[in-house]
Amino acid sequence: MRSTLRRISLAVAAATAVFTAALPGTATAQDGQGQQGRTYHVATWGADHDSGSSRHPFRTIGRCTEQVGPGDTCLIHRGNYRERVAPPSGRADAPVTLAAYGDGAVTIDGTRAVTGWQDAGGGLVAADVDLPLDRSENALFLDGERAMEGRWPNSGSDPLNPSWAVAERSSTDQHIDDPDLPDGDFTGATVHLWAGSNPWSQQTGTVTATSDGALDFKGGNYRCTPLCMGDQNYRNYYLVGAKATLDQPGEWYYDKDAGRLYLVPPKGGIAGHTVTAKHESWGVDLSHSSHVTVRGLELWGTSLRTGADSTGVLVEGVRARYISEFSTLPMPRDDELAIPPGEGHIVASRVLNSGVQILGRGNTLRDSDIGYSAGTGVLLRGSGNTVTGNYIHDVGWMGSYTPGIEVNGGGQTVTHNTIRRTGRASIDTAWQLNGVPFHDNRIAYNDLSEAMRTSRDGSPFYVCCNLDAKGTSVDHNTVHDADGQVGYYIDNSSGNFLLHHNVAYNTGTRGTFFNGHSSVSLGNRDHNSSYGTGISTAAVRLSGATDATGTYVSNDVALTPMEISGPGDPAPVVRNNLLPPADPRYTDARNGELWPRADSPAIDAGEQVDGVTGEVRGDGPDQGAYEYGEPIWSSGCRLAGCETRVRNDGWKATASGGADASAAVDGVQTTQWKGDAPQAAGQSLTVDLGTAKTFGRLAIDAGLDATGHPSGFTVSVSRDGEHWGTPVARVSGRSFTQDAVFGQRTARYLRIELTRPGENPWAVNEIRLYADGPDAAAALQAERAEVVRGVERGEAATSVLGTGDAIGFRGVRFGAGADTLTVRLASGGCGDCALRLRLDSPEGPVAATLPVRGTGGTDEWRERSVRLPRTVTGSHDVYLVATGGHRVAAVDWLTLR
């Protein structure tokens, strides 16, 4: 019998935290005073000629970094610091520390104010300014929000919801025909292409001539026909970077030669508005630093990097926004490539010069919130580095192979990250750029979703190409709700990948794909994985391999068959898998809860696999990713934002006219509802959530459909299905997965209504809802609690809570209300033991008391429930507090329904 407590004891010390209102990683004055060496203070009200004491702080961080040496600390008080921070190195036993003091946000701001605006005619204003970055890397912010560079067709503020023009089929590889192209001179503009028969990467070119309804361009189209404009399935493009595109408030254009910035001002004029422009690519530059700790800082319009020789750098509790911006996709330089240059390497454009960059060896990025990058979220390159516990989102919108996390090198650790809303992959390896062999990496306990927003041929976890992953383990990850074709994609002859205890659902045609691509696929393995709904063709596929020696697939559970082919010596081994027509009896496949019920045929039906199954409970290993009777492991981070999806409790959808549209809300991304006539304004879908839910974002996913997405729609909400009021969101544009974002609402019904006509019928594969904070009706996993007091957490549960010990979840959404608390726990029992549910603080009002009866020991797990005296509604911080003994119970998860 596996010992849960023994597993928990292996949890890292950093996983234990004391209750605090401060952000993760934020320093306090007491923290700083406890550091070895001297402590200096920095504050916006200070002066650089002062001493740097708490009463006489420095004005700039740069002045502080001039003073510090090994063991010294810069404590930085709240405020905005427009400077480039480049501290010296510390020592392994005495790092240099830059930390937020804890009295408010400390922002390293990479932008500078733009002033001196004058009327420029034609509804524009202009300012003379020297922007120091490359012309394609400029960014502008209007009143603290990213402003859109002038483009056609117009698009909304979300770069992952782009509006595309569609070229005529008469277009060719360097020419576009489009009768909707407006009048104007677009010469010199960038044309951004998502085109081809199966476009797995986007490209850019430069417009060389324009005429009525047509333009010529140079560049792009490196591989025809897969990535080529012309008579293709995909003929999408937009124009950016021309003065002629300026036609809506907030759009801008920079004339680099003249040093002049043009802007369409807000309605009412530019007076009273603030405009800033990006000036600094690397606000925190550690490229020549080692043994430095950066804690609790915020980055705005800039990024952070370590260097190829950096070691011992710790970055924690950082919040970064708009870290990288660019509008072109140039070919990587020859010296950046590890193999001979070739046209196909356009896919690796911007991988090495975007994102937060953890280079070198032995460096760590943890517990940080990193969002909004045209390119990579985090670049991990070198050896022995760690990226763990981070929330990475809204990145890679330019559509090359820049992912949430780019993993290069060997001995890297990538664990417990939540990666959401990426242009292409969530986690990727760029084979062209590997300088260090891809060996001995650990990629585990990551939650990857809403990937492939601007591509179709790819996956949330993507490997390419010809990589030898000797010693690498990809395990305990969850991939779901992505718009590509595969969940885990080991592409183009890569080998020796060990995949095990992974989960995939709503990933397209396949769960895992080993693609030999007319060459070898050697030593790839997949064990104890669980595949759910939304996988239409094969749970696991191996094809195209001239040699598949070492292939081994066992102990998997799936709702679709497997397709394994290819010669080998020994031949591929495929056995002990639970496949159709058998019913695995998942707990709740609609919501991705793929752990087995008590009557599942997967229990004790697996085989022993060295290094994978280990000790087991019962007569043998279970098939699938979860061992029945053990705590349910979870993936992803613990920061705010890491849990946002609204639980689908059996929603119903009806099309205008009364037709059933249940395929749009059945939780299965590979089923599709499609209208019976071309799109017309007024067509609608009405969704009944069954009970009132709280949500603030709606996603409409058309899967691989290239024609059925609407060009415009509104979203309205209702509590009773009769009174709707004004729409809460209006969306325009023509993107493949479309989001409507609005202030959080609590409602039972929502209606999506088209506002524009279209030549094709409306198609919806899945409607999903999201909100700030976890859904109370979902399983709140104890190991993902945002706050912990007096107890350790492992990969799947806590250790035993005693009196006063607690776990807490912030911003839990109850919607219409919950009246039952259920806790999965393990306990040896004690007289008056109980778990108390408290709201809003660990000492807040008691919403329920759950008496704890023994389950047979602290390794025997049972669900216990209690009715709440009063229904809880709205949103609350939720705390589970132990009382009545030194060893009350270990906790796996709780629900409030």
> CA 154, 157, 160 angle in degrees (round to 5)?
95
Predicted pLDDT at 22: 35
According to DSSP, the β-strands at 552-554 and 525-527 are parallel
Q: Which residues pair with 109 in a beta bridge?
A: 300
Start-to-end C-alpha separation, the chain: 32
Q: Which residues pair with 309 in a beta bridge?
A: none
According to DSSP, the β-strands at 766-770 and 684-701 are antiparallel
Query: Which regions of 486-592 does DSSP assign to beta strands (E)?
Result: 488-490, 495-500, 503-505, 508-520, 525-527, 530-531, 535-547, 552-554, 563-564, 573-575, 586-588
Distance CA 538, CA 488 (A): 12
Q: Is it the case that residue 142 has pLDDT exceeding 70?
A: yes
Q: Is it the case that residue 576 has pLDDT exceeding 70?
A: yes
**What average pLDDT does this structure show over 335-356?**
80
Of 172-186, 218-232, 332-346, give the lowest mean pLDDT range: 332-346
Domain 780-896: CATH class, spelled out: mainly beta
Distances (CA, A) of 271 to 146, 513, 673, 702, 807: 18, 56, 48, 42, 49
**What average pLDDT does this structure show over 154-165?**
90
Same fold, 652-770 and 780-896: yes
Indicate the residue type of 305: R
Predicted pLDDT at 120: 98
- Residue whose C-alpha is closest to residue 522's, from 494, 481, 485: 494
Q: Kindly state which CATH superfamily the domain 652-770 is placed in.
A: Galactose-binding domain-like (2.60.120.260)
Q: Is it the case that residue 27 has pLDDT exceeding 60?
A: no
φ, ψ for residue 335, nearest 5 deg: -75, -5
**What average pLDDT does this structure show over 568-577?**
97
More confident residue, 198 or 417: 417
At 19, the pLDDT band (50, 70, 90 cuts) reads: very low
10 Å CB burial of residue 130 (0-12, 13-18, 19+) is exposed
Indicate the residue type of 36: Q
Predicted pLDDT at 890: 98
Indicate the average pLDDT of the chain. Answer: 93
Distance CA 559, CA 671 (A): 14
At 21, the pLDDT band (50, 70, 90 cuts) reads: very low
| Torsion region of 539: left, alpha or beta (phi above 0 gives left; psi -120 to 50 gives alpha) | alpha
Distance CA 350, CA 430 (A): 11
Predicted pLDDT at 763: 95
- pTM for the structure as a whole: 0.95
Q: Is it the case that residue 207 has pLDDT exceeding 90?
A: yes
Q: Is it the case that residue 187 has pLDDT exceeding 70?
A: yes
Predicted pLDDT at 434: 59
Q: What are the tens digits of pLDDT across the range 618-675?
A: 999 999 999 999 999 999 999 999 999 999 999 999 999 999 999 999 999 999 999 9
Q: Is it the case that residue 30 has pLDDT exceeding 90?
A: no
Of 242-256, 337-351, 720-734, give the lowest mean pLDDT range: 337-351
Of 4-13, 97-106, 174-183, 806-815, give the lowest mean pLDDT range: 4-13
Q: Is it the case that residue 431 has pLDDT exceeding 80?
A: no
Predicted pLDDT at 342: 66
SS3 at position 629: coil
Q: Is it the case that residue 869 has pLDDT exceeding 50?
A: yes
Q: What are the tens digits of pLDDT across the range 108-135?
A: 999 999 999 999 999 999 999 999 999 9
**What average pLDDT does this structure show over 850-878?**
97
Q: Which residues pair with 398 in a beta bridge?
A: none
The domain limits of the chain are 114-278, 476-481+496-638, 652-770, 780-896
Q: Is it the case that residue 341 has pLDDT exceeding 70?
A: no
Q: Is it the case that residue 210 has pLDDT exceeding 80?
A: yes
Q: What are the tens digits of pLDDT across the range 245-280?
A: 999 999 999 999 999 999 999 999 999 999 999 999
Q: Is it the case that residue 23 has pLDDT exceeding 70?
A: no
Judge whether 826 and 859 are in contact, CB under 8 Å. Answer: yes
Predicted pLDDT at 397: 97
Distance CA 43, CA 41 (A): 7
Q: Is it the case that residue 25 has pLDDT exceeding 70?
A: no
What is the share, in percent, of the chain residues with pLDDT greater than 90? 86
Q: Is it the case that residue 28 has pLDDT exceeding 70?
A: no
Q: What are the tens digits of pLDDT across the range 807-853?
A: 999 999 999 999 999 999 999 999 899 999 999 999 999 999 999 99
Contacts of 123 by beta carbon, 8 Å cutoff, 6+ apart: 264
Q: Is it the case that residue 16 has pLDDT exceeding 60?
A: no
Quick one: tokens of 197? 């028969």
Judge whether 623 and 577 are in contact, CB under 8 Å. Answer: yes
Predicted pLDDT at 780: 97
- Residue whose C-alpha is closest to residue 354's, from 332, 384, 385, 387: 332
Quick one: tokens of 857? 């020991």
